[in-house]
């Protein structure tokens, strides 16, 4: 009984921490593009991007939010603008200067921009380059339950076994995300993948069971049996 109470308390802590983080994000001023190059990149205007670059705008200069034009193009899903900025010398692996410290690839994953994810990977973006707290693009995609992006990242060589003190593991994020296809794809990519025995992983397992019964956790065992 004591162990069950500890696990339930751990689940509550995870939920409270997540809720607190969301409240902090909501309270912050919403970033928006300001310079002509950022505005054109966010709007997907190839002509505007070319004009701004021709006028001397630099593709990697961060704005007051810490975002570069490439970040704006990535967040808005503007593949043509992303391509132009990369051709002009924008760094596909540069972390932003905001509190997250995300790469353009992380921003594209966060906004579910599959086309930009593919364009950045094709241009040489490091598939496992993480934020300062250890969050990888695959962790983020798994946590958001975006199976198409998870598939693209795995094909590009993303590490399904990646772990970090802050976000945890790729699999724990996938379980939280609740997409069974994502869980299945991860287990196929790394057959021995499993939730750990630490309090965090056990709490995530309890949370998943409370939210969706045993189906998601059961998928782990089912996929392991199928690929043997």
Q: Burial-class residue 51 by CB neighbours within 10 Å (0-12, 13-18, 19+).
A: middle
Higher pLDDT, 11 or 167: 167
Measured between alpha carbons, how far is 156 from 144 in angstroms, rounded to an integer? 19
141-150, 173-182, 193-202: least confident range: 193-202
User: Token pair 């310079």 is at which residue?
Assistant: 35
Q: How far, in whole angstroms, is CA 59 from its chain's centroid? A: 23
> How buried is residue 228: exposed, middle or buried, by Cβ count under 10 Å (0-12/13-18/19+)?
exposed
- Lowest-pLDDT range, 1-5, 94-98, 172-176? 1-5
Task: Give which of 94, 87, 147 is closest to 122, Cα–Cα.
Answer: 87
Residue 132 banded pLDDT, cuts 50, 70, 90: very high
Q: How much helix, strand and coil, in percent to the nearest 5, is found in the chain?
A: 60, 0, 40
69-76 helix and 114-122 helix, angle to the nearest 10 degrees: 130
DSSP 8-state code for residue 99: S
In the structure, what pLDDT confidence band is assigned to residue 217 with cuts at 50, 70 and 90? low
At residue 89, φ and ψ (nearest 5 deg) are 110, 5
Q: Residue 200: exposed, middle, or buried by beta-carbon count in 10 A (0-12, 13-18, 19+)?
A: middle
Name the nearest CA neighbour of 10 among 216, 226, 199, 214: 199
pTM of the model: 0.81
Do the two domains 32-126 and 132-228 of this chain adopt the same fold? yes
Determine the Cα–Cα distance for residues 188 and 181; give it in Å rounded to an integer: 10
Helices then strands, each counted (H, E), the chain: 13, 2
The CATH code of the domain at 32-126 is 1.25.40.20
> 18 or 75, which is more confident?
75
Superfamily of structural domain 132-228: Ankyrin repeat-containing domain (1.25.40.20)
pLDDT category of residue 22 using cuts at 50, 70 and 90: very low
As a whole number of angstroms, the distance between CA 194 and CA 219 comes to: 11
Within 8 A by CB and 6+ apart from 104, the residues are: 68, 70, 71, 74, 82, 92, 94, 116, 120, 125
Domain ranges across the chain: 32-126, 132-228
């Amino acid at each position: 009984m004591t162990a069950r109470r500890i696990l339930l308390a751990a689940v509550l802590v995870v939920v409270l921490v997540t809720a607190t983080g969301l409240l902090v994000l909501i309270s912050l001023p919403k970033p928006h593009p300001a310079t002509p190059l950022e505005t054109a990149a966010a709007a997907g205007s190839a002509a505007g991007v070319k004009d701004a670059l021709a006028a001397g705008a630099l593709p990697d200069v961060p704005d007051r939010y810490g975002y570069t034009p490439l970040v704006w193009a990535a967040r808005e899903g503007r593949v043509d603008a992303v391509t132009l900025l990369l051709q002009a010398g924008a760094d596909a692996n540069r972390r932003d200067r905001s509190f997250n410290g995300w790469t353009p690839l992380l921003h594209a994953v966060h906004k579910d921009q599959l086309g930009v994810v593919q364009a950045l990977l094709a241009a040489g973006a490091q598939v496992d380059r993480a934020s300062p707290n250890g969050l990888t693009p695959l962790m983020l995609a798994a946590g958001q339950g975006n199976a198409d992006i998870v598939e693209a990242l795995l094909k590009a060589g993303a590490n399904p076994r990646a772990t970090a003190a802050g976000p945890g593991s790729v699999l724990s994020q996938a379980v939280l995300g609740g997409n069974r296809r994502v869980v299945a794809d991860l287990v196929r990519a790394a057959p021995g993948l499993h939730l750990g025995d630490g309090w965090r992983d056990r709490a995530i397992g309890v949370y998943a069971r409370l939210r969706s019964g045993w189906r998601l956790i059961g998928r782990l065992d089912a996929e392991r049996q199928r690929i043997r």
